[in-house]
Structure 1
Amino acid sequence: MPDRAKTTPLPVREAHGQPLVLVVEDEAALVTLLRYNLEREGFRVIDAANGEEALLIVKEQRPDLILLDWMLPALSGIEVCRQIRRSPEHRRTPIIMLTARGEESDKLRGLEVGADDYVTKPFSPSELVARCRAVLRRALPQAETEVLQYQDLSMDLATHRVRRGAKDVHLGPTEFRLLRFLLENQGRVFSREQLLDHVWGRDIYVEPRTVDVHIRRLRKAINIEGAADLVRTVRSAGYALDVNI
């Protein structure tokens, strides 16, 4: 499956050079696959086969990103995530849960204990790499480019200018914030309630259906004749910045 998102430079810690990824997974074949694809894309990789080993490595080597399997022997991925988030030193370390559990309630549970994202098995290695880049950009904002891009759509954060191909796109403030959030989380599906929390804020009461109105306005503004619809609607789930295929 080809990468859908444009490749962007990896944000890094100057002391280490390449970002260090800790893969916490007890399936050796999957560890090998992940290591190959991550190292090919410029990451350094270390691995742990169980939760206890993972917690020790986090303390000693301070990885930039953790890929954490949900189903681990002895100490579950959920508990590992919970313990990492309790530590002042590591509470901001990005964590992506790897899980075969596809139920929405399970995914929400992972996010509630502190995971930044989740990927359901089986997954595309190229999608996982894109998710890794996205969470690292969010965790290290000082290294984030001022231009967000997906396909032929770009957003210049410094000038607040949005373009689709050679065409300027004019957006209202809410549509701009909505598009920025989707650009920063390419390919990930968000429910109306999640979009309300992230774009409008938890302290503002807005009807969930209001999201639909702004999504329609955003679609009308960014979609051009003969080009792909960049906003995907997932029935009973939500919306994503993702080419409809």
Structure 2
Amino acid sequence: MRLLVIEDNRSLVANLFDYFEARGHTLDAAPDGVTGLHLASCHHYDAIVLDWMLPRMNGPEVLYKLRNEHGSDVPVIMLTARDELPDKIVGFRSGADDYLTKPFALPELEVRLEALLARASGQRARRVLEVADLRLDLGTLEATRGGQSLHLYPACRKLLEVLMLASPAAVTRERLEYALWGDSPPDGDMLRSHIYELRRSVDGPFETKLIHTLPRTGYRIGLPYASAADGR
């Protein structure tokens, strides 16, 4: 399990690292909300542990931006001393999957994270992603557009999944590279080659193009902005 801990309490972060790394997990940490949002949007994590009171950007704002601007569905558990019902409602409405108040027991956090990952895995196995007339069944791995079956290599299928999960938001090049190669991307611009192959399958035979390049940012999948606004 790869975790991102967004927390400014150094002692708590150290305790989390000691506990979870001893159990074979990998952790990254961010001491403030802006750094946490950047890491969460550029890298893949199995789950995020998010504090509420953070420097630069608070937890609910980080979570709202992660869900609505970056299109991420990574499981997030809020870890906070705010234990009033109105606070919990704000947390869940911002996009939290679970809410654990301080002080807490580390084994409880662990089992809650395991439950979140199990539930997320089951949802992904059953989910069918749809963007315009493009469909991707995450259970069968079948991709179709306009009812026509698409032939996709595994790398292209993974890119398509990441782009469709984020749609209509853009996905950075760094996040796409991590989805394919983790922390060891190959030399050269192999991502561009995979995007080219993906375009050939998804857009080649069709008049309306769904895959768009955002210079200096990355890529997005969806209807062209003008067409989407016009309802076409």
TM-score (norm 2): 0.51
Equivalent in 90, 109, 112 of residue 128 of structure 1: 109
1:115 aligns with 2:115: no
**Structure 1 segments unaligned to the other structure (5+ residues):** 1-18, 145-245
**Structure 1 residues 143 and 44: alpha-carbon distance in aligned structure 2, compared to 1, 3 A threshold:** farther
1:48 aligns with 2:27: no
Q: Name whichever structure is richer in helix by fraction.
A: 2
Q: Cα RMSD (Å) of the superposition?
A: 1.7
Residue pair 1:23, 1:47 contacting (<8 A) in 2 also: yes
Paired position in structure 2 for 1:96 = 77
Paired position in structure 2 for 1:31 = 13
Runs ≥4 in structure 1, deviation > 3 angstroms?
A: none
Distance 2:90 2:41 in 1: 24
Deviations 1:84-114 (A, max 9, x none): 1114541x11000011011111111101111
2:36 aligned counterpart, secondary structure:
helix
Distance 1:42 1:87 in 2: 32
How many residues are aligned here? 125
Paired position in structure 1 for 2:209 = none
2:74 aligned counterpart, secondary structure:
coil
How far is the alpha carbon of 1:40 from its aligned partner?
Answer: 2.2
Which residue identity is paired with 1:111? F
How far is the alpha carbon of 1:143 from its aligned partner?
Answer: 9.2
Residue pair 2:80, 2:101 contacting (<8 A) in 1 also: yes
**Structure 1 residues 105 and 142: alpha-carbon distance in aligned structure 2, compared to 1, 3 A threshold:** closer
1:81 aligns with 2:67: no
Residue pair 1:137, 1:143 contacting (<8 A) in 2 also: no
1:84 aligned counterpart, secondary structure:
helix
Distance 2:9 2:92 in 1: 23
Residue pair 1:70, 1:77 contacting (<8 A) in 2 also: yes
Aligned pairs for 1:150-189 within 5 A: none
1:139 aligns with 2:120: yes
TM-score (norm 1): 0.49
Determine what percentage of the aligned residue pairs are the same residue.
42
**Structure 1 residues 142 and 43: alpha-carbon distance in aligned structure 2, compared to 1, 3 A threshold:** farther
Distance 1:143 1:105 in 2: 30
